[in-house]
Chain A
Amino acid sequence: DSGVTQTPKHLITATGQRVTLRCSPRSGDLSVYWYQQSLDQGLQFLIQYYNGEERAKGNILERFSAQQFPDLHSELNLSSLELGDSALYFCASSTSTGKGEKLFFGSGTQLSVL
């Protein structure tokens, strides 16, 4: 068990809908990362937060947004969902930020857009 908790484990929704994925980092970790894992793209970095502030942005669509709350949990919001958004979404956390930080991953949220 990595200590990172993601909910829900599975989410089935329809095109055009909006969903929220939740992540609780390991106790004491200040940094949260979101990754998307799809069949043809592997693990793609979306966004990183550190102590409540956005630190880095990857190939995150404008329809997607995230935030990290004062208690350090994070939410990834996906709106106007399309079939191609179906993927496994991972959250990871690390103690701090910067090169060499060990990322601890949650078990992911499997999103199916029908």
Chain B
Amino acid sequence: GESVGLHLPTLSVQEGDNSIINCAYSNSASDYFIWYKQESGKGPQFIIDIRSNMDKRQGQRVTVLLNKTVKHLSLQIAATQPGDSAVYFCAEWLSNIPTFGRGTSLIVHP
């Protein structure tokens, strides 16, 4: 797929484990953040978002944590499944356009 060959950090986990994907953002004035998932052969898909007035937000099997002090975001996926294998991007909104990070490739081994 398109993610193969991308020079990305890679996280390999076993099915059923929890995964933590990290992202450092660049601008301390950014106040809205999104995580996207890109499966092989597809475009990025929205997973979860968080505003800067929050430290944590939970979705279905996913949790996003925001640490504004160190400009760091993390995406936690509980009970990781093979279908979670994808490239994960964080994006920050400073102006009216989201700026994407380089992404992390998550590989889930059955």
Contacts and interface: CB of A to CB of B under 8 A. Distances in A.
9 contacts: A2-B45, A42-B100, A42-B101, A42-B103, A45-B97, A97-B96, A100-B49, A100-B93, A102-B46
Interface residues of A, number: 29
A92 B101 contact: no
Contacts of A48: 96-97
Contacts of A58: 97
Contact of B7 (A2, A40, A102, A104): A40
Interface of A: 2, 4, 33, 35, 37, 39-40, 42-43, 45, 48, 55-56, 58, 88, 90, 92, 97-100, 102-108, 110
A112 B7 CA distance: 18
Interface of B: 2, 5-7, 31-32, 34, 36, 41-46, 49, 89, 93, 95-103
B100 A99 contact: no
A39 B45 CA distance: 19
A108 B93 contact: no
